[in-house]
A and B are shown apart, each in its own frame.
Chain A
């Protein structure tokens, strides 16, 4: 999961140095990875110890 945070970090860095289009692409990839990880958790492969 730290890789997704890293992707957003790279997106912020690219935006900061003026590379808007690559930043948009990396940010969208980050959102896509987040959605995929959420999809993984929706498959009930997590077990909560309640």
Chain B
């Protein structure tokens, strides 16, 4: 079960890394809601990573659920902002959907998956000794990936917004990268 949690967390990191890649490859600056969606995804992945690093605990799943619900609400808010015909969209579409729509789908699938996994009571039974080596490696990989993504986002957001509140419709970097051409 720890390996499964590590895989799920890595998928979420992949989504955040994809958005991060689009930010620099396509020069698409993330809006404040986009950044909040990333935070929700990192929060959900944090709970799963704790499960992967240590034994699965209901508290860890609780954090993942809180992050997924929060991220789902934020992405739904952004979908709602653009759902009326003629109100445009933010950013480019990937496989037919915008990133915030994909994020909402990911959060919904994650909540369903956590609900299904929580049905397996045996994972919470006290077990003696260290976790298997594969689970240890997978957990550490997930934690390091989360750590790297968080600090990469710290730098990127500071470059985009400087120390002020992020602009609603960012068009250029306001921090140290203000001369970045993409």
Residues of A near any B CB (own CB < 8 A): 1-2, 4-6, 8-9, 11-13, 15-16, 20, 23-24, 27-28, 30-31, 34-35, 37-38, 41-42, 46-50
Task: Return B77 CB to nearest CB of chain A, in Å.
Answer: 7
User: In the complex the two chains form, what is the Cα distance from A30 to B41 in whole Å?
Assistant: 12
Task: Return A24 CB to nearest CB of chain B, in Å.
Answer: 7
Chain B contact residues: helix, strand, loop or mixed = helix
- With known contacts A9-B147, A24-B59, A16–B140 Cβ distance under 8 A: yes
The answer to whether A9 and B150 touch across the interface, beta carbons within 8 angstroms, is: yes
Per the CB 8 Å criterion, the residue count for chain B at the interface is: 45
Task: Return A21 CB to nearest CB of chain B, in Å.
Answer: 10
Residues of B near any A CB (own CB < 8 A): 32-33, 35-36, 38-40, 42-43, 46-47, 49-50, 53-54, 59, 63, 66-67, 70, 73-74, 77, 81-82, 87-88, 90, 140, 143-144, 146-147, 150-151, 153-155, 157-158, 161, 165-166, 168-169
Chain A contact residues: helix, strand, loop or mixed = helix
The answer to whether B143 and A16 touch across the interface, beta carbons within 8 angstroms, is: yes
